[in-house]
């Protein structure tokens, strides 16, 4: 049984879902998701002897949504994870993240290796800080059309997505999945000039098998307060680059696992394929070659729960000994 409660952490209140007993595993969701994105991982990880906790991260779901955009920096997000681990009565934990949750997990391991026993990232590979701010780099590369830059415009994407949250979420999840039309695969997520992002996204008549109307119900409800808190994470991308200057060229040293889908948009971002290929040489304690899931899109643990669960259980039990 998954139980729910709210915990005071790092000056805010975080809603968490939890199950199981044993060493703590913290599961961090991405955009635009919630704790529910880990629904298929609770039972297998709990059965393997772990205490599993998945929060709605700040700005999402039933957790607090600070109004100040500056309250969503990577240091705040890492602080939430460390604070949550301690609030749960533990000094250390395994941390797993997907999409935006992956950079939070990687940075928690990078900044606080004393707290992280092992780290796994899904979709987004480990952080290797570039030579220029990411929003500026993408603005230059794609003439301001990359979706990060669109999200960075105050109030614009917020209003577009909030008009019909259910349709927004349905389009997002189907567009970025392994079930998306073949013509849409491998394309960079660019915004057409003078148009919103959703305008050019197909609205599927039938949901993929792994996504149900009940899933959409939960997701839609979690965005009842709008999308601004979630979008504020993107509005801190350049600020995060500035705040992490002290860790330039630093690497994640704790035991690590990376999993991605071969139809995921993120691993096709500029420079990312080369980074993934080099990870075994760049990561001092990557426990296996990056796990590439055939036919899988962006929603890794939802599209391919069996493979992801097997990889996580093998990784975590191997570290636990």
Instruction: Record the tokens describing residue 122, joined without a space.
Output: 């899904």
Evaluate whether 38 touches 46 at the Cβ level (below 8 Å).
no
Instruction: Record the tokens describing residue 78, joined without a space.
Output: 């890492």
Q: Is 99 annotated as catalytic? A: yes
Distances (CA, A) of 262 to 180, 294, 308: 13, 5, 14
Evaluate whether 233 touches 99 at the Cβ level (below 8 Å).
no
Q: What backbone phi and psi angles, to 5 degrees, belong to 160?
A: -60, -45
d(CA 109, CA 92): 11
Distances (CA, A) of 109 to 40, 195, 257: 24, 39, 12
d(CA 35, CA 28): 7
Q: Which of 29, 36, 98, 298 is catalytic?
A: 298
Q: Is 281 annotated as catalytic? A: no
Helices (H), the chain: 42-47, 74-87, 101-111, 134-142, 147-151, 156-162, 165-175, 213-222, 228-234, 237-243, 272-282, 300-303, 305-320
Evaluate whether 311 touches 257 at the Cβ level (below 8 Å).
yes
Q: Which of 56, 64, 99, 179 is catalytic?
A: 99
Q: What is the DSSP string of 253-315?
A: -S-EEEEEETT-SGGGSTTHHHHHHHHHHH-TTB-SS-EEETT--S-HHHHSHHHHHHHHHHH
Q: List residues with catalytic annotation.
A: 99, 298
């Amino acid at each position: 049984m998954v139980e729910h409660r709210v915990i005071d952490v790092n000056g805010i209140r975080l809603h968490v879902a939890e199950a199981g007993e044993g060493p703590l595993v913290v599961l961090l969701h991405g955009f635009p998701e919630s704790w529910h994105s880990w629904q298929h991982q609770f039972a297998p990880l709990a059965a393997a002897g772990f205490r599993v906790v998945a929060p709605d991260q700040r700005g999402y779901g039933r957790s607090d949504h600070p109004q100040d955009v500056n309250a969503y920096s990577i240091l705040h997000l890492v602080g939430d994870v460390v604070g949550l681990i301690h609030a749960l009565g533990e000094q250390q934990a395994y941390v797993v993240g997907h999409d935006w949750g992956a950079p939070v997990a990687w940075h928690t391991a990078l900044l606080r290796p004393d707290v992280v026993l092992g780290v796994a990232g899904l979709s987004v590979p480990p952080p290797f800080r570039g030579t220029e701010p990411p929003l500026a780099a993408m603005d230059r590369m794609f003439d301001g059309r990359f979706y990060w830059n669109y999200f960075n415009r105050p109030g614009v994407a917020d209003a577009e997505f909030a008009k019909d949250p259910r349709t927004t979420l349905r389009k997002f999840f189907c567009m970025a999945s392994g079930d998306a039309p073949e013509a849409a695969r491998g394309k960079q997520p660019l915004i057409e000039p003078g148009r919103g992002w959703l305008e050019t996204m197909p609205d599927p008549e039938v949901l993929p098998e792994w996504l149900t109307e009940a899933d959409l119900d939960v997701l839609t409800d979690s965005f009842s307060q709008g999308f601004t808190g979630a979008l504020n994470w993107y509005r801190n991308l350049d600020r995060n680059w500035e705040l992490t200057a002290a860790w330039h060229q630093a690497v994640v040293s704790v035991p690590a696992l990376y999993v991605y889908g071969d139809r995921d948009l993120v691993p096709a971002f500029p420079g990312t394929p080369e980074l993934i290929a080099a990870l075994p040489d760049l990561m001092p304690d990557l426990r296996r070659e990056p796990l590439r899931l055939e036919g899988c899109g962006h929603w890794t643990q939802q599209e391919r729960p069996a493979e992801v669960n097997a990889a996580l259980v093998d990784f975590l039990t191997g570290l636990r000994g």
